[in-house]
Amino acid sequence: MGAQWKSKGKELVANAKGKLFSKLAKDIMLAARAGADPAGNSKLRLVVEQARKASMPKDTLDRAIKKGAGLTGEAVHFDHVIYEGFAPHRVPVMVECLTDNVNRTAPEMRVLFRKGQLGTSGSVSWDFDHVGMVEAEPAAAGADPELAAIEAGAQDFEPGHEEGSTLFLTDPGDLDLVSRALPAHGFTVLSAKLGYKAKNPIDPASLSPAELEEVEAFLAAIDANDDVQNLFVGLAG
């Protein structure tokens, strides 16, 4: 949880898939501003690979690229906004949003943070490191994450969000380099993005089951907001 929180127990797999596609489409449109060709646009290449691994329909993927690159005649504008604060029981949270209307998103965030505490810019981010996050899984038995991290140029590694996967942590500027290098060292890249990792994550064992349930409910409510792209939470594990 210290790197990135993912909601548990989605009501319907279809709803979860739809929300994932919506988030990926936003990332694709934003990245495509710098060019519609993934071969010459590393940020777009990374998110396109992630979309393909998530089985996003090809027409949806192509439409997002063209729309973001301005090839459809439609105006696309998203603001990248980060909200900082605390979940219940002083668990630090950073909420990354992509929104086409900050005047809608800001009050929605204020309402969602009523069960926690919405902070000002810098109130929480000082306790997080800005890092590249590459989640990958072994392509073959015996793949060594420690050796792969060293050879690919990652700064560190830890268990990933998917079962059996590894999260390779990089300098922000090395994200594309590491994601390109890992396949040669026995790992298949599942996703690659910039994010925030807590420097001093809270041990979930320090919270009672009821308190942890409050935190989970708070995070699930925020994650359900359509403008939220990522949640980065200061909980260990």
Q: Which CATH superfamily is domain 13-68 in?
A: Integrase, N-terminal zinc-binding domain (1.10.10.200)
Q: To which residue do tokens 């919270």 refer?
A: 207
pLDDT single digits (tens) 72-83? 888 778 899 999
Q: Residue 167 pLDDT more than 80?
A: yes
What is the reported pLDDT for 5? 56
pLDDT single digits (tens) 18-56? 888 999 999 999 999 889 999 888 889 889 988 988 899
- How many Cβ atoms are within 10 Å of 205's Cβ, its own excluded? 9
Q: Residue 86 pLDDT more than 60?
A: yes
Domain 79-126+200-233 fold is Alpha-Beta Plaits (3.30.70)
What is the reported pLDDT for 11? 45
pLDDT single digits (tens) 181-210? 999 999 998 888 899 999 999 999 999 999
Give the burial class of 64: count Cβ atoms within 10 A of its Cβ; 0-12 exposed, 13-18 middle, 19 or more buried: buried
Percentage of the chain lying above the pLDDT 70 cut? 94
CATH 3.30.70.980 for domain 128-198, yes or no, is yes
For the chain, how many residues are written?
Answer: 237
Domain ranges of the chain: 13-68, 79-126+200-233, 128-198
- pLDDT bracket for residue 10 (50, 70, 90): very low
Q: Residue 129 pLDDT more than 80?
A: yes
What is the biggest distance separating any 2 CA atoms in the chain, rounded to whole angstroms? Answer: 53
Q: How far apart are CA 176 and CA 31, in angstroms?
A: 14
What is the reported pLDDT for 12? 42
What is the reported pLDDT for 81? 95
Q: Are 38 and 75 in contact (CB under 8 A)?
A: no
Phi-psi region of 147 (alpha: psi -120 to 50; beta: other; left: phi over 0): alpha
Q: How far apart are CA 200 and CA 96, in angstroms?
A: 20
- pLDDT bracket for residue 4 (50, 70, 90): low
What is the reported pLDDT for 178? 95
Same-fold call for 79-126+200-233 versus 128-198: yes
Query: 3-class DSSP state for residue 175?
Result: helix
What six digits make up the tokens of 45?
A: 């290449």
- Residue 200's alpha-carbon distances to 88, 121, 181, in angstroms, are 17, 19, 29
- pLDDT bracket for residue 162 (50, 70, 90): confident
What is the reported pLDDT for 169? 97
Q: How far apart are CA 153 and CA 84, in angstroms?
A: 30
